[in-house]
């Protein structure tokens, strides 16, 4: 097996197995970290195959990933071979199916042990005869608590026995049976009756609880045995009561039901194919259903690890990825779930948790761009009516709280809420801006990105209100959009720098910080043609933004620029002082496309080149790999991503839009597929592309585009 390759498993429920830093990928069971909703747990359960009290020396020989499952092959010198099928079911079951083969000439008396550890707090572990149950409020960092009820069992046949649970001081989190309390005991101790464990007194800090079950397995020479071990997660607590329906055994992990609604993309450029496939894989891994707590609609999480919850920072981009699925439920749900949970004051929560929101948590986001893109492929008046009133409340909240003086520009009040912390954009206003640890107001900065997002949202809501005959509302949106456009164009443009800039509201002067978000207006009608040409000069300047792998988040001429992610000497997790972020590239590519469609030849050329560089990073080609990736940010000179973060499943960019529009050369307008290359479009085949309530095959062959309804 490849020791560096990382795997991710999900079943379309609320759990994810995508450890950031896997240590035990070659061990049986789910021995590395997992996400149970937004909580990160260090492991789910361990498995060991014993002979007597000795663990068999199993060596992992191969790992095969297929249809959302892992198949691991193990063997040991004595002739026992074990094949493990590992997957997550749609109803949040962590499943490990073992096939044990005795290839030797002697009968073997084996025992399979499933165990885990937990903390001694909360409700005691319930020992249930042939299984055990752990009920906990799980929590990671500042995230909301997750009410989890996890049932561990060997459900496919009778014969398993629950082990007596024990409290223990110390110990490691390694999957070694020799470290468990049962290893030093005679036989396998079992509880006298079905009952919860009794806590000792006192409990030493750092103690842990060992709980498990065992299953004797007699395997004759040349014989086989098969057993299934699982941990079934149910969510039940204050305000949450959710138990998923048991899935069809033929599609337990939801792989088939998801992929049969995914368009199939083929072209001669394998890098592009890998990237497109990987973007759909991310949607498959990070999707979650509706029904649990605040999740009133199906949605998509931002990433793995601490990002395993829907985030308003990334959701508009995720909507634009999910709109290419034939079923619009996921894309529409991403929008609705946030505006169903809008706060009383009109603020959109920054993150959504199963059991709550945080009123201090907020991100500026491109809701207008995401909603408009979704409606282009999956138009639906019911969705518009469902969210319009909540979105109007959000627009009013922005005006009252982020533009109290009515300037038309939008304030950023801490270095987190634009999703771009650790940048001179903020320290130029407040030297201590990078010390903020919470989403609380620390300064006021008129942000170019926040102002553009507000403009795009108000302009789109004007069209929505017009369509559903809300005339008074439409007039208000139209008037507000005109003010915002005029103010951004006049007040935030810097002719010398050649891009738009943030404003210091105290002195109404531009900050003189060249940040890549200054190119965001390109995707709108805000800049005039002269300003566009000047922006293209700045973007293509090799001393400013056109690095080997563009676009760095801040100009290379900036005194704080650092390609390696260091801020004031410390490498940061999310630095915005020079790293390349796919979300920025997506917005810049959209802007270049906007003006390339209007005949700007330089915009056409830059769009083509920037897409090639972006695909090279995301496909793995920049570092000589054949594995597509989705890391948070990348080095502007090498194109190597932030592997040190461990975040390998991360969605914050709308890459599919960029690929299909620029590389494939077609656009979705007025309810139809239009042939509109902005450069040299490639030959490709996209089978099963949705548009309205129909599905099409779109193909370009020898330069000619052909669209056929299925």
Mean pLDDT for each 10-residue chunk of the chain (710 residues)?
Answer: 84 98 96 97 97 93 96 94 98 98 94 95 89 94 92 92 91 92 92 78 82 96 96 93 93 97 97 98 98 97 97 98 98 98 97 92 97 98 96 97 96 95 96 85 96 98 95 96 97 97 94 98 97 98 98 98 97 97 98 97 98 98 95 98 95 98 97 95 98 97 96
Nearest residue to 143 (alpha-carbon basis) of 39, 295, 236, 35: 39
User: What is residue 440's predicted lDDT score, i.e. its pLDDT?
Assistant: 86
Cα separation, 481 vs 334, whole angstroms: 25
Cα separation, 353 vs 81, whole angstroms: 42
In the numeric block, the tokens 């083929």 are attached to 266
Environment class of 305 (CB within 10 Å of its CB; exposed 0-12, middle 13-18, buried 19+): buried
User: What is residue 206's predicted lDDT score, i.e. its pLDDT?
Assistant: 79
User: What is residue 335's predicted lDDT score, i.e. its pLDDT?
Assistant: 98
Cα separation, 331 vs 320, whole angstroms: 7
CA separation, residue 492 to residues 131, 420, 509, 527, 586 (Å): 64, 19, 9, 11, 22
In the chain, CATH 2.70.98 sits at 9-251
Beta-bridge partners for 152? 132, 231
CATH number of 261-709: 1.50.10.10
Kind and range of the H or E element at 494?
strand 493-494
Of the options 1.20.1630, 3.30.2130, 2.70.98, 2.60.40, the CATH number for the domain spanning 9-251: 2.70.98
Q: What is the pTM of this model?
A: 0.96
Please confirm whether the linkage preceding 290 is cis (ω < 30° from 0).
no
Beta-bridge partners for 185? none
Is residue 189 within 8 A of residue 127, CB to CB? The reply is no
> Where does residue 470 fall: left (phi above 0), alpha (psi -120 to 50 degrees), or beta otherwise?
beta
Q: What angle do CA 372, 315, 503 make, to 5 degrees?
A: 80
User: What is residue 273's predicted lDDT score, i.e. its pLDDT?
Assistant: 98
Beta-bridge partners for 499? 494
DSSP annotation of 659: I
Q: What six digits make up the tokens of 562?
A: 């650092």
Q: What six digits make up the tokens of 489?
A: 């164009």
Those residues whose C-beta lies under 8 Å from the C-beta of residue 147, and which sit 6 or more positions away, are: 137, 235, 236, 237, 238, 240, 354, 355
User: What is residue 149's predicted lDDT score, i.e. its pLDDT?
Assistant: 96
Kind and range of the H or E element at 110?
strand 108-118
User: What is residue 3's predicted lDDT score, i.e. its pLDDT?
Assistant: 63
Q: What six digits make up the tokens of 629?
A: 């990736």
User: What is residue 1's predicted lDDT score, i.e. its pLDDT?
Assistant: 61
In the chain, CATH 1.50.10.10 sits at 261-709
Nearest residue to 583 (alpha-carbon basis) of 387, 345, 365, 434: 365
User: What is residue 629's predicted lDDT score, i.e. its pLDDT?
Assistant: 96
Nearest residue to 683 (alpha-carbon basis) of 667, 668, 663: 663
Cα separation, 471 vs 614, whole angstroms: 42
């Amino acid at each position: 097996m490849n020791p560096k390759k990382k795997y991710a498993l999900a079943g379309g429920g609320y759990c994810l197995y995508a450890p950031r830093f896997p240590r035990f990928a070659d061990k049986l069971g789910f021995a590395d970290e997992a996400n149970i909703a937004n909580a990160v747990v260090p492991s789910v359960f361990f498995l060991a195959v014993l002979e007597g009290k000795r663990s068999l020396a199993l060596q992992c020989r191969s790992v095969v990933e297929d249809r959302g499952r892992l198949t691991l092959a193990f063997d040991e010198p004595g002739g026992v071979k074990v094949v493990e099928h590992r997957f997550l079911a749609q109803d949040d079951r962590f499943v490990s199916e073992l096939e044990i083969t005795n290839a030797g000439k002697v009968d073997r008396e084996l025992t399979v042990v499933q165990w885990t550890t937990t903390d001694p707090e909360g409700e005691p572990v319930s020992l249930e005869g042939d299984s055990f149950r752990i009920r906990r409020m799980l929590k990671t960092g500042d995230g909301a608590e997750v009410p989890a009820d996890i049932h561990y069992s060997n459900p496919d046949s009778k014969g398993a026995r629950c082990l007596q649970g024990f409290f223990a001081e110390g110990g490691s989190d390694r999957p070694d049976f020799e470290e468990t309390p049962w290893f030093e005991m005679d036989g396998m101790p079992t509880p006298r009756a079905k009952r919860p464990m009794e806590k000792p007194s006192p409990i030493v800090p750092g103690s842990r609880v060992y709980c498990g079950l065992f299953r004797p397995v007699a395997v004759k020479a040349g014989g086989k045995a098969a057993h299934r071990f699982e941990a079934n997660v149910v969510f039940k607590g204050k305000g949450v009561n959710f138990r998923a329906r048991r899935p069809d055994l033929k599609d337990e992990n939801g792989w088939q039901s998801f992929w049969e609604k995914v368009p199939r993309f083929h072209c001669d450029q394998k890098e592009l194919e890998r990237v497109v496939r990987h973007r759909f894989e991310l949607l498959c891994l990070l999707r979650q259903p509706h029904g649990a707590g605040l999740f009133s609609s199906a949605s998509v999480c931002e990433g793995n690890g601490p990002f395993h919850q829907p985030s308003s920072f990334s959701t508009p981009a995720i909507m634009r990825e999910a709109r290419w699925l034939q079923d619009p439920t996921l894309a529409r749900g991403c929008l609705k779930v946030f505006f169903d949970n809008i706060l009383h004051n009109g603020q959109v929560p920054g993150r959504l948790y199963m059991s709550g929101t945080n009123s201090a948590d907020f991100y500026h986001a491109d809701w207008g761009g995401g909603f408009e893109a979704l409606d282009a492929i999956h138009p639906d008046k019911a969705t518009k009516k469902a969210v319009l009133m909540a979105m109007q409340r959000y627009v009013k909240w922005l005006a009252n709280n982020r533009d109290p003086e009515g300037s038309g520009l939008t304030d950023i009040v801490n270095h987190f809420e634009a999703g771009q912390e650790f940048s001179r954009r903020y320290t130029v206003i407040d030297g201590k801006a990078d010390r903020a640890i919470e989403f609380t107001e620390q300064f006021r900065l008129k942000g170019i990105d926040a102002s553009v997002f507000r403009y795009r949202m108000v302009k789109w809501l004007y069209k929505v209100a017009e369509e559903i005959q809300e005339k008074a509302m439409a007039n208000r949106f139209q008037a507000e959009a005109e003010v915002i456009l005029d103010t951004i164009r006049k007040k935030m443009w810097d002719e010398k720098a050649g891009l738009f800039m943030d404003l210091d509201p105290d002195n109404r002067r531009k900050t003189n910080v060249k940040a890549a978000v200054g190119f965001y207006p390109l995707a709108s009608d805000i800049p005039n043609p002269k300003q566009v040409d000047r922006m293209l000069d700045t973007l293509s300047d090799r001393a400013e933004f056109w690095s080997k792998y563009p676009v760095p988040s801040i100009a290379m001429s900036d005194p704080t620029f650092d390609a390696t992610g260091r801020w004031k000497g410390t490498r940061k997790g999310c630095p915005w002082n020079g790293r390349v972020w796919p979300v920025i590239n997506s917005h810049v590519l959209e802007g270049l496309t906007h003006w390339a469609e209007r005949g700007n030849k330089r915009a056409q050329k830059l769009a083509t080149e920037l897409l090639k560089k972006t695909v090279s990073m995301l496909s793995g080609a920049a570092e000589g790999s054949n594995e597509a990736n989705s890391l948070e940010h990348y080095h502007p000179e090498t194109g190597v991503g932030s592997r040190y973060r461990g975040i390998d499943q991360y969605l914050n960019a709308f890459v599919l839009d960029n690929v299909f529009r620029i590389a494939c050369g077609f656009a979705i307008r007025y309810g139809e597929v239009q042939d509109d290359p902005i450069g040299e479009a490639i030959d490709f085949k996209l089978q099963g592309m949705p548009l309205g309530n129909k599905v099409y095959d779109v193909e370009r062959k020898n330069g000619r585009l052909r669209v056929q309804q299925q």
